[in-house]
Amino acid sequence: MGAYKGTELIGFLISFISQSKPYISVIAVQPEHQRNGVGIQLIDEAIKYWSNIDHKSIRIHVSFERKNAFELYRKIGFEVLGRDEDSYELSLTI
């Protein structure tokens, strides 16, 4: 999924299925477009996509070091499922 300003790609999201569950793998937004809702827009598109094909939740892993990303996901409504040695696994019911 991509976010554009005109014809310029300013952000993207990669999502996939693993063990029958949808995951968000990568979210990237150009630095000059961060904190303007682009990441949330991309996550919303992924949620709509997966819910339209009857999935009930979406998951994401986030490194302990990425505190701002972790807070964004929690703000959206993701809940912590667990953690391993370097990251949290979060889930959002959709």
For residue range 9-29, list pLDDT tens digits in order.
999 999 999 999 999 999 999
What pLDDT sits at residue 71?
93
Of 63, 64, 2, the closest CA to residue 29 belongs to: 2
Instruction: Give the domain ranges of the chain.
Output: 2-93
Question: 2-93 belongs to which homologous superfamily?
Answer: Gcn5-related N-acetyltransferase (GNAT) (3.40.630.30)
Q: Tens digits of per-residue pLDDT, 27-82?
A: 999 999 999 999 999 999 999 999 999 999 999 999 999 998 999 999 999 999 99
Average pLDDT, the chain: 95
- Categorize the per-residue pLDDT at 88 as very low, low, confident or very high, splitting at 50, 70 and 90: very high
Which segments of the chain are extended strands (E)?
2-5, 8-18, 21-29, 57-63, 79-83, 87-93
Of 57, 53, 48, 10, the closest CA to residue 29 belongs to: 10
What pLDDT sits at residue 76?
93
What is the Cα–Cα distance from 46 to 74, expressed in whole angstroms? 16
Query: Against a cut of 0.85, is the pTM above it?
Result: yes
What is the Cα–Cα distance from 39 to 24, expressed in whole angstroms? 12
What pLDDT sits at residue 89?
96
What is the Cα–Cα distance from 19 to 38, expressed in whole angstroms? 28
The amino acid occupying position 68 is N
